[in-house]
Amino acid sequence: MILVTGGAGYIGSHTCVELLQAGYKIIVIDNLSNSSEESLKRVQKITGKTFTFIKGDIRDANLLKKTFQQYNITSVIHFAGFKAVGESCAIPLEYYDNNINSTLVLTQVMQAANCKNLVFSSSATVYGNPKELPLTEGMPLSATNPYGRSKLIIEEILRDLPAADTINKAKQPWSIALLRYFNPVGAHKSGLIGEDPSDTPNNLMPFITQTAIGRRDKLAIFGDDYDTRDGTGVRDYIHVVDLALGHVKAVDKLLSVDGISGVRAFNIGTGKGISVLEMVNSFSKTNNVNVPYKIEPRRSGDIAACYADVSRAKNELNWQATRQLDDMVKDSWYWQSQNPHGY
């Protein structure tokens, strides 16, 4: 049984689909602060499988303890957390409380229940402003905003757990996969689940799709004077289904005979950089839809380019992204066109 925290969210819901289709039984805990229970109903529709949903906050230790007592949970995938870079700069204390505290409570309850297999939803933001590309897991870590810092602090906390196992001679050691996501886009090919931000989107693709469907007048592109091939920022965009499959592979690895000893970080991306303009133009051309845009000044804290070296995930998890840019823009538009106002 796999516990999925934050499983009603964008990445969480897609991962629930892939876990169920891989034969895993799951339980979802989500407080629905930035997601909809409708996504979980649609996960059941896609897979034809049922699962338990608990509405609650994982900072509620009693709720978590009851859940672990009631179900035979072997592993946890921890998505629950706030994730907007700009918002984190405005309300850093809320980000530290929500993201770090929830992880502390979760790992304390897991340890007490002797469930020590964890896949953590980390981020490429832990690399800060990279001095060279592509990014490898062994590069120096830093953060340029409270969101990224919360992920970095959690990674450090999680590294302390196997070290404590050694001191305490624990019979059941921690086994932790840190998945450092790059830029998830796309949606399930059914059009039933996709990215549905509750407020102003934080990511590029919902801005593109909401502009294309007429919910926004135009797309703002921040900066066209970067040292990149067309002057706009370059990022490693990954289809959300590929990302979800990365979690399934990580769970497979944790539960395998030659699982992960201690903590291991994995970049989850495509290894290729795509510029903002390339994404916009591909979206327009593939879907035959107009996306009006306006160039705005650079945003503070944005970097010119960021993309991953993904060889470790390929070699150790037997995982790699297979979906291309065309799939990303086609599936994103199908989701938005089928769900003009989200869930």
Q: Tens digit of pLDDT for each residue in 143-161?
A: 989 999 999 999 999 999 9
pLDDT of 123 reads 95
Q: What percentage of residues in the chain have a pLDDT greater than 90? A: 90
**218: phi > 0 → left, psi -120 to 50 → alpha, else beta; which?**
beta
**CATH classification of 2-185+238-268, choosing from 3.30.360.10, 3.40.50.300, 3.20.20.80, 3.40.50.720?**
3.40.50.720
Statement: residue 337 has pLDDT above 80: yes
Q: Is the pLDDT of residue 38 over 90?
A: yes
Query: Angle, to 10 degrees, between the axis of helix 102-112 and the axis of helix 61-70?
Result: 40
Among residues 54, 68, 81, 57, the alpha carbon closest in space to that of 1 is found at: 68
Give residue 129's pLDDT. 85
pLDDT for 200 equals 74
- At the second CATH level, the architecture of 204-236+271-338 is Alpha-Beta Complex (3.90)
| Contact predicate 185/328, CB 8 Å | yes
pLDDT of residue 202: 74
| Residue ranges of domains in the chain | 2-185+238-268, 204-236+271-338
Task: Please give the pLDDT value at position 303.
Answer: 84
Indicate if the pLDDT at residue 255 is higher than 80. Answer: yes
Residue range 74-100: average pLDDT?
Answer: 94
pTM of this prediction? 0.96
Pairing mode of beta strands 274-275, 234-235: antiparallel
Angle, helix 204-212 to helix 325-338, in steps of 10 degrees: 50
pLDDT for the residue 339? 96
Greater pLDDT, 85 or 326:
326
pLDDT of residue 198: 76
Per-residue tokens: 30: 């989500």
User: To 5 degrees, how large is the angle CA 296–CA 302–CA 304?
Assistant: 90
| 163-180 average pLDDT score | 93
- Give the per-residue pLDDT at 85: 83
The CA angle 29-32-36, to the nearest 5 degrees, is 110
Please write the tens of the pLDDT for every residue from 174-223. 999 999 999 999 999 999 999 998 777 778 999 999 999 999 999 999 99
How many CB atoms sit inside 10 A of residue 4's CB? 28
Query: Do 181 and 270 contact (CB within 8 A), yes or no?
Result: no
Active-site positions read: 147
Using one digit for the tens of pLDDT, what is the confidence trace for 112-139?
999 999 999 999 999 998 889 999 999 9
Report residue 49 as tokens. 């499988």
pLDDT of residue 170: 87
pLDDT given at position 187: 98
Write the burial class of residue 111 (CB in 10 Å: 0-12 exposed, 13-18 middle, 19+ buried).
Answer: middle
Q: How many CB atoms lie within 10 A of CB 239?
A: 24
Q: Which is more confidently placed, 110 or 197?
A: 110
Instruction: With a cut of 80, say whether residue 301 has pLDDT above it.
Output: no
180 pairs with which residues across the strands?
122, 267
Banded pLDDT at 171 (limits 50, 70, 90): confident
Band (14; pLDDT cuts 50, 70, 90):
very high
Whole-number mean pLDDT of the chain?
Answer: 95
pLDDT of residue 326 exceeding 80 = yes
Q: What is the pLDDT of residue 7?
A: 98
